[in-house]
Amino acid sequence: MFDVKDYVESDLGALLNIYRNAFRKASKKENLEEFKKSIENTLGKVLVLQNEIIGAIFLKPKDIEGDFKVAKLFITPKYQNKGLGYFILTHLKEEEQSIKNIELEVSSESLKAKKFCERMLKEI
């Protein structure tokens, strides 16, 4: 089914394309260097289906107690609304012992992202 792997820099181009497609209005202006800078010093995980990258999550540590904040979370549009955002969030909480809490907020104008965050706040 789906695999979660650690982010590596060679994934960067594919991830930027997925990010741009997932957030068409908000992300068109972000270039490769800006995208790369936005995920520096994060814990990055990539969602893979049949050797194809279909999404990712990047978490920024907030403190040494294991609190993290979602810096970026995106899924290719073809696989959105199928529970994959929830899957990757819960996978991280279960598999990464350094993660105690994950803070999720949205400042995007994306209605989809806002609805997702509201739903996740109730479930995680």
pLDDT at site 37: 93
Domains in the chain, ordered, with CATH?
2-123 (3.40.630.30)
pLDDT at site 108: 54
Q: What is the pLDDT along the chain (124 residues), one digit of tens a residue?
A: 789 999 999 999 999 999 988 877 655 577 889 999 999 999 999 999 999 999 999 999 988 788 888 888 899 999 988 888 888 888 887 888 888 888 776 655 555 655 665 565 555 5
Q: Which of 70, 54, 59 is nearest to 15 (CA)?
A: 54
CA angle 21, 27, 49 (to 5 degrees): 35
The strand pairing partners of 74, in sequence order, are: 56
pTM: 0.82
pLDDT at site 123: 53
- CA-CA distance, 83 to 86, in Å (whole number)? 5
Burial class for 89, CB neighbours closer than 10 Å (0-12, 13-18, 19+):
buried
